[in-house]
């Protein structure tokens, strides 16, 4: 799909790539329906939770160093800034840098939602620029501004001449998509529109754009890439505006999760010819090798990469084989964003653990280049199938599945979900860090974490014995599919 950087609005995942938030069936059926174009998302007759795409978009942007976010909306929407602000400061401190990003809410009130407040917004943008001298300014919307049609594009155009740093309108009204990951695309679109510049003539780069969340494996990946004369530029946590302006000069773009990196990767390839590494991700043995080999192929470094893989295999593979003996035959349920759900399913399969059910918080039928997500394609090509559902973090569906299947293990990338599993008596592994299964070394660590979780189950057993859950026997007898309603369209 062509990426249009002349428009500050980016279409939602539902409209752009046919993503859905409701489905129940099997992995193969999900893929077959996607491929032949018959897949339709279901609605829910009951929804327990949801998340706003604004938080996702603004959380991504505010991690960029020394910028300003001006969130035009009621204080209730801007409150997401509190968590983001804290996280950004912690991540900067951890890296040993300073992030002076400011996050300003315009505190829209009832008058503003009736009469509009674009004049005040202009004054606020100019004042923020004067007071904080940010390196870029993102003027962002909310449901309230979207509903009354506040023209933030015109506000930005009117004041552009008075501000000597990039300034851009960011359309992140929460109501426009059920999929919070649309926020990733919105933040990428804003960065591409306002900060990324065409490549400078004659500049030779050995950089790889690496889209991730919190760069926890930064030192380790820098060291690994030195073996191949490559240098990663991690995005967006602690990025500088200067770094982002040169993304178009990189040798390639890669990401830790296709859900996170798909829009930026495809857009950089389409606009500037920067190749996007389209492979399964770095989790597990096959994932790590496939990913590195694809980088080798794209950057002309295959020989160096094969040598590195051979050395590392000798160190880690015998240990992984050893721990696998103790994991064989375990049954697992997992609930994650769609990128990780299908990547981690592959790793569990590699470790000899049977996935009995996988929940994806949403599902992208295809990515922006029109391909089926590689993690999904790998499972299908290797004839791996299991029951699957698409459920936007509806905890009651997770609990229902855990109660029905009584797995040895539940894995999730969202802490709220693992806490409930533990209260239910199910050992759970919180795959919090995006690098928790990265490469051979972390795959081995991950296997040990699973072993730790299942070997001593007294914590879960005791907690479950003393916890009264709100879910009744009647509730547990319902089929998860009972809550899904097929859309008539």
Length of the chain: 489
Q: What x-and-dash track marks residues 43-72 binding ligand SF4 by CB under 6 A? A: ---------x-x------------------
By CB under 6 A, the count of residues binding ligand SF4 is 7
Distance (Å, whole) CA 265 – CA 79 = 30
Please answer whether residues 39 and 365 qualify as being in contact, where contact means their C-beta atoms are separated by less than 8 angstroms. yes
The H or E element spanning position 353 is none
What is the Cα–Cα distance from 134 to 65, expressed in whole angstroms? 9
Site string for ligand SF4, 212-241 (x = CB under 6 A): ------------------------------
Smallest gap from Cβ 232 to ligand SF4, in A, equals 33
Q: Smallest distance from the beta carbon of 180 to ligand SF4, in angstroms?
A: 10
Q: Smaller CB distance to ligand SF4: residue 46 or 175?
A: 175
Half-sphere exposure of 87 (CA within 13 A, CB side): 18
- d(Cα 25, Cα 42) in Å, to the nearest integer? 12
State phi, psi for 128 to the nearest 5 degrees: -65, -40
Of the pair 143, 286, the CB lying nearest ligand SF4 is at 143
Q: Spell 149-173 as b/e; 16+ CB within 10 A means b.
A: ebebbebbeebeeebebbbbbbbbb
The verdict on 142 binding ligand SF4 (CB under 6 A) reads yes
DSSP conformation class of 228 = T
Distance CA 34, CA 345 (A): 19
Question: Between 20 and 52, whose beta carbon lies closer to ligand SF4?
Answer: 52
145 lies in the binding site for ligand SF4 (CB under 6 A) = no
CB of 175 vs ligand SF4, minimal distance in Å: 6
139 in contact with ligand SF4 (CB under 6 A)? no
Q: Does 86 participate in binding ligand SF4 (rule CB under 6 A)?
A: no
Under the binding rule (CB under 6 A), the answer on residue 284 touching ligand SF4 is: no
Check residue 148 for interaction with ligand SF4 (CB under 6 A).
no
> Pattern of binders to ligand SF4 over 441-470, x per CB under 6 A?
------------------------------
Nearer to ligand SF4, 79 or 485 (CB): 79
Burial of 322 (0-12, 13-18, 19+ CB in 10 A): exposed
> Which residue's CB is nearer to ligand SF4, number 182 or number 233?
182
Is 187 among the residues that bind ligand SF4 (CB under 6 A)?
A: no
Nearest distance from C-beta of residue 104 to ligand SF4, angstroms: 16
168 pairs with which residues across the strands? 138
Strands (E), 296-419: 331-336, 354-360, 387-391, 409-412
* DSSP H/E element including 32: helix 27-36
Site for ligand SF4 in 157-176 (CB under 6 A): 174-175
Per CB under 6 A, 183 contacts ligand SF4: no
SS3 471: coil
Q: Which residue's CB atom is positioned nearest to ligand SF4?
A: 174
Report the half-sphere exposure of 135 (CA within 13 A, side-chain side): 18
Whole-Å CA distances, 344 to 81, 93, 279, 336: 30, 30, 14, 9
Provide the minimum distance between the beta carbon of 76 and ligand SF4 in the complex, in angstroms, as a whole number.
6
State the minimum distance, in angstroms, from the CB of residue 12 to ligand SF4: 13
Shortest gap between Cβ of 77 and ligand SF4 (angstroms)?
A: 3
CB atoms near residue 224 (< 10 Å): 17
Q: Which is nearer to ligand SF4, 81 or 428 (CB)?
A: 81
Q: What is the DSSP letter of 424?
A: T
> How far, in Å, CA of 334 to CA of 134, rounded?
42
143, 165, 224, 323: which one binds ligand SF4 (CB under 6 A): 143
Of 20 and 77, the one with the shorter C-beta distance to ligand SF4 is 77
- Note the residues at the interface with ligand SF4 (CB under 6 A): 52, 54, 77, 142-143, 174-175
């Amino acid at each position: 799909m062509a990426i249009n950087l002349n428009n500050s609005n980016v279409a939602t995942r539902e409209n752009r790539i046919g993503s859905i938030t409701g489905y129940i069936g099997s992995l193969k059926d999900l893929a077959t329906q996607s491929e032949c174009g018959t897949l339709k998302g279901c609605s829910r007759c009951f929804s327990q939770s949801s998340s706003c795409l604004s938080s996702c978009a603004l959380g991504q942007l505010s991690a960029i160093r020394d910028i300003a976010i001006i969130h035009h909306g009621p204080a209730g929407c801007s409150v997401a800034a509190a968590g983001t602000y804290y996280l950004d400061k912690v991540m900067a401190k951890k890296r040993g840098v300073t992030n002076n990003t400011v996050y300003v809410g315009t505190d829209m009130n009832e008058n503003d939602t009736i009469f509009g407040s674009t004049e005040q917004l202009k004054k606020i943008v100019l004042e923020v620029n004067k007071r904080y001298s940010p390196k870029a300014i993102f003027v962002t919307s909310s449901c309230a501004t979207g509903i009354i049609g506040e023209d933030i594009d015109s506000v930005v155009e009117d004041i552009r001449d008075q501000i000597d740093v990039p300034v851009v309108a960011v359309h992140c009204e929460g109501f426009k998509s059920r999929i919070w990951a649309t926020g990733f695309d919105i933040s990428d679109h804003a960065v591409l529109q306002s900060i990324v510049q065409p490549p400078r003539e004659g500049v030779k780069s050995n950089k790889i754009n690496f889209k991730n969340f919190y760069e926890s494996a930064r030192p380790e990946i820098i060291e690994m890439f030195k073996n191949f004369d490559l240098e990663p530029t991690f995005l967006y946590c602690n990025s500088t505006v200067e770094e982002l302006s040169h993304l178009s000069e990189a040798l390639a773009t890669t990401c830790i999760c296709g859900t996170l990196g798909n829009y930026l990767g495809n857009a950089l390839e389409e606009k500037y010819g920067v190749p996007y590494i389209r492979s399964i991700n770095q989790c597990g043995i096959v994932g790590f090798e496939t990913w590195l080999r694809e980088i080798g192929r794209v950057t002309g470094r295959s020989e160096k990469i094969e040598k590195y893989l051979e050395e590392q295999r000798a160190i880690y593979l015998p240990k992984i084989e050893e721990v696998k003996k103790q994991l064989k035959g375990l049954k697992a349920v997992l609930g994650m964003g769609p990128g990780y759900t299908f990547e981690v399913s592959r790793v569990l399969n590699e470790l000899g653990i049977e996935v009995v059910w996988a929940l994806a918080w949403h599902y992208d039928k295809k990515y922006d280049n029109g391909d089926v997500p590689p993690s999904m394609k790998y499972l299908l090509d290797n004839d791996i199938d299991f029951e699957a559902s698409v459920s936007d973090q509806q905890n009651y569906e997770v609990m229902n599945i855990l109660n029905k299947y009584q797995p040895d293990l539940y894995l999730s990338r969202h802490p709220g979900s693992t806490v409930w599993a533990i209260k239910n008596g199910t050992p759970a592994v919180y795959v919090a860090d995006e690098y928790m299964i990265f490469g051979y070394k972390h795959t081995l660590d991950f296997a040990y974490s699973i072993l730790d979780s299942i070997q001593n189950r007294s914590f879960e057993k005791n907690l479950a014995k003393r916890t009264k859950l709100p879910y009744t026997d009647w509730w547990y007898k319902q089929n998860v599919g009972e809550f899904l309603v097929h859309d008539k369209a």
